[in-house]
């Protein structure tokens, strides 16, 4: 019986060492995983997670081990789906609370046509030309709020949908 125990222990040791070696030295194809993580993110491109866009955040999750609960527009659902995809056992609650869905609205009586907000929008949802009226295309607005700050006359507000 002792031989049986010894043999099994040796097999387990070899297998464990082999797996550890493979996990460290053999590179995993991370670019495909980044793509899959990116697909789960809501593509709001709002940078509330601290990264300049959803794909950089996805890359940070896969390659730098960034926390998966930093995306307010995704809500707790996205945290759960990310945990499932990455094989993590726990899905921590959102670091900040979930974002209520909202769209930006430009007050046309105040707009001076400076184009600052148009440049700031990550999905080009604001149309307008220099010194002409600007407006937000409601269907394309993701509610990221990046346009609110640059406006010099404070004419952009968020309206809950």
Partner 1 sequence: MPSPAPTYDLGRLHGGLRLAAHKSASTGLPVQSPPLPAQLILPIDQHVGEPARPLVGIGEHVLRGQLLAESTGTLGAPVHASSSGKVVAIEPWPVAGRRGDPAPCIVIECDGDDRAVESRGNPVPYAELPGDEVLRRILQGGIVGLGGAVYPTAQKLMQAAAGELEYLILNGAECEPYISCDDMLMRERAGDIVSGAQILLHALGLDSACIVVESDKPDAIKQLAAAMTDAADERLVLKQVPTIYPSGGEDQLVQLVTDREVPSGGLPTDVGCLVQNVGTAAAIHDWLRDGEPLVSRITTISGDGIAQPMNVRARIGTTVAELVQFAGGYTDSARHLVIGGPMTGKSVSTDRVPLVKATNCILVLSEVPQPGPELPCIRCGECAAVCPVQLQPQQLFWYACADDERQLRSHGLTDCIECGCCDLVCPSHIPLTYDFRMAKARIRELEDEKARAERARRRFEARNERLQREQRERETELARQKETARKAGPDAIAEIMKRKQQDDGD
Distance CA 69, CA 51 (A): 13
Burial class (CB in 10 A: 0-12, 13-18, 19+), 150: middle
Q: How far is the CB of 93 from partner 1 (least distance, A)?
A: 17
Q: Which is nearer to partner 1, 38 or 69 (CB)?
A: 38
Q: How far is the CB of 43 from partner 1 (least distance, A)?
A: 4
Q: What backbone torsions phi and psi does residue 72 show, to the nearest 5 degrees?
A: -65, -45
Task: Determine the length of the chain.
Answer: 161
Q: Which is nearer to partner 1, 108 or 140 (CB)?
A: 140
Q: Which is nearer to partner 1, 79 or 125 (CB)?
A: 125
- How many other C-beta atoms lie within 10 A of the C-beta of residue 147? 23
Residue from 159, 123, 150, 152 nearest 46 by CA: 123
- 135-136 and 156-160 beta bridge pairing: unpaired
Q: How far is the CB of 122 from partner 1 (least distance, A)?
A: 5
Q: Which is nearer to partner 1, 44 or 48 (CB)?
A: 44
Q: How far is the CB of 51 from partner 1 (least distance, A)?
A: 13
Q: Which is nearer to partner 1, 50 or 101 (CB)?
A: 101
What DSSP assignment string belongs to 14-52?
HHHHHHHHHHHHSPP-HHHHHHHHHHHS------TTSSS
Q: How far is the CB of 125 from partner 1 (least distance, A)?
A: 7
Token pair for residue 146? 């990046």
Q: Which residues contact partner 1 (rule: CB under 8 A)?
A: 38, 41-45, 53-54, 122-125, 140, 142
């Amino acid at each position: 019986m002792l031989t049986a125990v010894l043999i099994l222990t040796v097999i387990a040791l070899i297998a464990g060492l082999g797996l550890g070696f493979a996990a460290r030295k053999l590179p995993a194809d991370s670019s495909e995983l980044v793509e899959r993580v990116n697909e789960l993110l809501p593509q709001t491109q709002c940078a509330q997670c601290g990264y300049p866009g959803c794909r950089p955040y996805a890359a940070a999750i896969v390659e730098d081990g960034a926390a998966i609960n930093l995306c307010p527009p995704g809500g707790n659902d996205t945290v759960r789906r990310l945990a499932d995809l990455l094989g993590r056992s726990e899905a921590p609650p959102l670091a900040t609370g979930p974002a209520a869905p909202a769209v930006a609205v430009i007050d046309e009586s105040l707009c001076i046509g400076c184009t600052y907000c148009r440049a700031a929008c990550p999905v080009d949802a604001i149309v307008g030309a220099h010194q002409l009226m600007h407006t937000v295309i409601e269907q394309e607005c993701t509610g990221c709020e990046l346009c609110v700050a640059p406006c010099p006359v404070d004419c952009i507000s968020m309206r809950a949908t």
